[in-house]
Amino acid sequence: MIVLVGGSNAVNLADGLDGLAASLLLVALGSYALLCYMSGHVKIADYLNIMFVSGSGEMAVYCLALVGGCLGFLWYNCHPAQVFMGDTGSLPLGGALALAAIVSKHEMLLLLIGGIFVIEAVSVLLQVVYFRTTGGKRLFRMAPLHHHFELKGWAESQVVTRFVILAVLFGLVALASLKIR
């Protein structure tokens, strides 16, 4: 339950700039498509010394279908957005990402693959706790973190691009960690 609720809400919090949530989901769902495929393939799972999960290969197909959907959506959601995702899109897509983590038995890697989502959610939690404990002072100019950088003067596309670069790095590190474990 924690993984599903946390994943859904973290993606929802990241859906505040044109193209941000969809771009981050492309990276995260693509990474989990690979993880699900590798977990569902006996020889690859044995080689990487990860748990073989029968049927998780089908989840890879589902993840790739969501990647395709996010790509099509991103065409109209990039800056300036013509279509918005909102709660109706971000909550189920976050749940689907969490479900991929659960099905592939790599729930802990969701913290790394979805690192930007985690950072965004933690920034909101820290802002609320700091605001309440200090009597109204703010830790960030605004939460979630992407709005803080906007208020510091970064352009919207600059924030999105840098967050996506970090998401790609998080995904690559998570995938590289499979053989190290």
C-alpha 162/C-alpha 97 separation (Å) is 21
Q: What is the pTM of this model?
A: 0.93
The whole-number pLDDT of residue 160 equals 96
> What's the CA gap between 143 and 163, in Å, rounded?
15
End-to-end CA distance of the chain: 26
Which residue's structure tokens are 């193209």? 19
- Which residues of the chain are modeled with pLDDT < 70? 181
H helices of 15-114, in order, are: 20-40, 42-48, 56-77, 86-103, 110-113
The C-alpha atoms of residue 63 and residue 71 are separated, in whole angstroms, by 12
Structure confidence at residue 180 (pLDDT): 80
Phi/psi zone of residue 153: left (φ > 0), alpha (ψ -120 to 50 degrees), beta? left
Contacts of 104 (CB under 8 A, 6+ apart): 32, 35, 36, 39, 53, 56, 59
- Dihedral of CA atoms 89, 91, 93, 96 in degrees, nearest 10, equals -150
Which residue, chain included where needed, has tokens 């339950």? 1
Q: How far, in Å, CA of 19 to CA of 158, rounded?
A: 11
> pLDDT tens across 5-40, in order?
999 999 999 998 999 999 999 999 999 999 999 999
pLDDT of residue 79: 87
